[in-house]
């Protein structure tokens, strides 16, 4: 590694220009747009638009996550063990850009003339390979803060800003869906399932083409200035996987992430809730034309979905904006425990109001509070994993940046898979058959379902996320890396790195 410094640290030991922090955040925005296009909508597209068998969608999500259990750590190991002439983490973002773009478009492209079996093969191929190429870029991208700066406080700010702008990016498809629901019915001139096929494809095209440009921009705009030299493992020293699985703080963060999987329901299930739990619009009558019915229901779905998204923006993004201040003043574990318990209590009120009044507007204040832990966990889990990597580096002499990011990536994808599978299980439980709900000659509004069916779908964004937040707070009571402990680790690491001649490039 080069010994020459290109920028002297300031008094706080920070080395990154502010502009570079924003360039990293811009990449996070693009990544958030692309990932949200998949995670928030693919279940609705597969179930209600392509009308694939529920069991097939359920198995596809589960088996893809089993593959991720191999794929994510493997990508982390590759990134940790190799440094190319283009950089350590950045090149993967550039090389994966074209496959991610093509596969995202194919994910929402419905080929004509395929049998159901052929369509299942097509969707399985696209979905699995999309996940592989996304991992190829995602793991290195969220490993970047570890090589952009050695300063823990600066790194936390980079992560906080990146995750906040990433969340803003994830809202872009929601805005596009709102606009599409109001504009496209009059432009496309199609009805039923054919309309929704075209709607999804248009939104996917816009999202991925804009998002990938911002994502790839990271390669050209940030500098890897702290790349620890590769060190061979001595006989008797633990390997990468053993170092990960024997690190108690990291295991607690991973358990927290798995138990908090239900929080993804607020976004992943929102379009299903909008379609089958609430209807906002003119009265739908039996003699209404299918074109008018499609337009009214499309507008209602967009409106209800937007209500949930606004709640997420205010609750989740609001929390993410204040996280830099909170993370400086309080232990991470206290922040997680307090906000998750508050989210659980709010979810109880949301559930009760939904059951006794079926009034969406009365639920809004409590949905807002429920969304606060989403923003907290989206930011703090990445910062906690980086702290765990500091702890591992001090204890073992190795810093597994890629593998650490792979753990977080796997948790995120596992959480989204659990959310999607929960939605599919709910469809099965209440007896929904997608081909009877949305087709070329019929489209069912929420007003045509029973109140029990409406509430069952609503529970996916009310009590289910709340219980998940309650559970994820439990492992945090045992998390040992308090602010005092982290400062001690940072001081020891700094001295150890200086003794080894490690410098910032």
Q: What is the pTM of this model?
A: 0.75
pLDDT at 155 over 90: no
Contact 218, 27 (CB under 8 A): yes
Torsion of CA 491, 494, 496, 502, to 10 degrees: 180
**In 3D, which of 207, 277, 313 has the Cα closest to residue 423?**
277
pLDDT 10s digits, 256-296: 988 998 888 887 788 888 888 888 888 888 788 878 887 88
Q: What is the pLDDT of residue 268?
A: 78
How confident is the model over 292-312, as a mean pLDDT? 83
Report the pLDDT value the prediction gives residue 439, as an integer from 0 to 100.
65
pLDDT band for position 96 (cuts 50, 70, 90): very high
Look at residue 256 in the predicted model and tell me its pLDDT. 93
Q: Where are the domains of the chain?
A: 18-222+239-499
For residue 417, what are the CA distances in angstroms to 41, 58, 165, 420, 498?
12, 9, 23, 5, 43
- Cα-Cα-Cα-Cα dihedral sign, residues 315, 108, 131, 461: positive
Q: 495 CB contacts (<8 Å, ≥6 apart)?
A: none
pLDDT single digits (tens) 327-357? 888 899 999 999 999 999 999 999 999 888 8
Distance CA 254, CA 475 (A): 9
Maximum mean pLDDT: which of 11-15, 422-426, 432-436: 422-426
Please say if the pLDDT value at position 109 is more than 90: yes
pLDDT of residue 473: 95
Rounded-to-integer distance, Cα 75 and Cα 136, Å:
6
Radius of gyration of the chain (CA): 23
Q: What is the pLDDT of residue 474?
A: 95
The 10s digit of each residue's pLDDT in 38-72 is 888 888 899 888 989 989 998 998 888 778 777 88
Answer whether residue 4 shows pLDDT above 50: no
Tell me what the mean pLDDT of segment 300-328 comes to: 84
pLDDT at 67: 84
Let me know: does 25 contact 228? Beta carbons within 8 Å: no
The predicted model gives 414-431 an average pLDDT of 83
User: What residues pair up with 290 in beta bridges, in sequence order?
Assistant: none
State the DSSP code for 429: H
- How distant, in Å, are the alpha carbons of 93, 409, 437 from that of 217? 9, 21, 42
Task: Please tell me the predicted confidence (pLDDT) of residue 5.
Answer: 46
On average, the pLDDT of the chain sits at 85
Q: What is the pLDDT of residue 105?
A: 96
CATH of 18-222+239-499, one of 3.40.50.720, 1.20.1250.20, 3.90.1150.10, 3.30.559.10: 1.20.1250.20
pLDDT bucket at 441, cuts 50 / 70 / 90? low
Burial 267-283 (b: 16+ CB within 10 A, else e): bbbbbbbbbbbbbbbee
The strand pairing partners of 443, in sequence order, are 438
Q: Among residues of the chain, what percentage have pLDDT more than 70? A: 92
State what percent of residues in the chain have pLDDT above 90.
34
- CB atoms < 10 A from the CB of 116, how many? 12
| Residue 225 CB neighbours (<10 A) | 20
417: which strand partners?
none
Out of 9-13, 176-180, 395-399, pick the least confident.
9-13
Between 30-34, 137-141, 441-445, the lowest mean confidence (pLDDT) is in 441-445
The mean per-residue pLDDT over the stretch 221-250 comes to 78
């Amino acid at each position: 590694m080069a010994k020459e410094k290109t920028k002297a640290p300031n008094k706080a030991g920070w080395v990154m220009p502010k502009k570079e922090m924003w360039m990293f955040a811009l990449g996070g925005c693009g990544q958030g747009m692309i990932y949200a296009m998949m995670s928030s909508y693919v279940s609705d597209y597969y179930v209600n638009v392509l009308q694939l068998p529920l069991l097939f969608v359920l198995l596809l999500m589960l088996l893809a996550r089993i593959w991720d259990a191999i794929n994510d750590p493997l990508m982390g190991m590759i990134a940790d063990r190799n440094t190319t002439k283009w950089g350590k983490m950045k090149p993967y973002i550039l090389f994966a850009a074209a496959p991610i773009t093509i596969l995202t478009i194919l994910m929402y492209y419905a080929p004509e003339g395929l049998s159901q079996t052929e369509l299942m093969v097509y969707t399985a191929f696209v979905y699995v390979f999309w996940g592989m190429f996304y991992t190829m870029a995602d793991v290195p991208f969220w490993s970047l803060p570890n090589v952009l700066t050695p300063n823990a406080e600066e790194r936390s700010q980079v992560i906080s800003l990146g995750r906040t702008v990433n969340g803003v990016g994830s809202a872009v498809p929601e805005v596009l869906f709102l606009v599409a629901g109001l504009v496209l019915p009059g432009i496309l001139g199609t009805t039923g399932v054919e309309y929704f096929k075209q709607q999804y494809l248009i939104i996917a095209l816009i999202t991925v083409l804009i998002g990938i440009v911002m994502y790839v921009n990271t390669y050209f705009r940030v500098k890897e200035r702290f790349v620890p030299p590769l060190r061979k493992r001595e006989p008797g020293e633990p390997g990468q996987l053993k170092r990960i699985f024997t690190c108690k703080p990291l295991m607690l963060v991973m358990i927290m992430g798995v138990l908090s999987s239900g929080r993804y329901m607020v976004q992943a299930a929102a379009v299903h809730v909008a379609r089958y739990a609430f209807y906002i619009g003119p009265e739908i009558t039996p003699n209404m034309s299918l074109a008018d019915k499609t337009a009214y229901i499309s507008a209602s779905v967009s409106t209800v979905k937007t209500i949930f998204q606004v709640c997420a923006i205010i609750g989740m993004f609001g929390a993410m904006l204040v996280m830099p201040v909170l993370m400086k003043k309080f232990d991470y574990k206290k922040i997680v425990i307090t906000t998750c318990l508050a989210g659980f209590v709010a979810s109880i009120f949301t559930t009760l109001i939904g059951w006794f009044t079926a009034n969406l507007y009365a639920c809004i204040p409590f949905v807002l509070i429920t969304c606060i832990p989403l923003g907290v966990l989206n930011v703090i889990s990445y910062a906690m994993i980086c702290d765990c990597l500091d702890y591992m580096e001090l204890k073992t002499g190795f810093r597994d940046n890629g593998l650490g990011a792979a753990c977080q990536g796997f948790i995120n994808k596992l959480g989204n898979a659990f959310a999607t599978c929960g939605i599919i299980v709910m469809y099965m439980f209440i007896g929904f058959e997608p081909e009877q709900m949305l087709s070329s000659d019929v489209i069912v509004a929420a007003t045509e379902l029973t109140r029990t069916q409406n509430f069952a779908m609503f529970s996916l964004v009310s009590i289910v996320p709340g219980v998940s937040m309650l559970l994820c707070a439990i492992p945090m009571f045992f998390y040992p890396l308090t602010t005092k402990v982290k400062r001690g680790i940072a001081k020891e690491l700094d001295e150890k790195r200086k003794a080894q001649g490690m410098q910032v490039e």
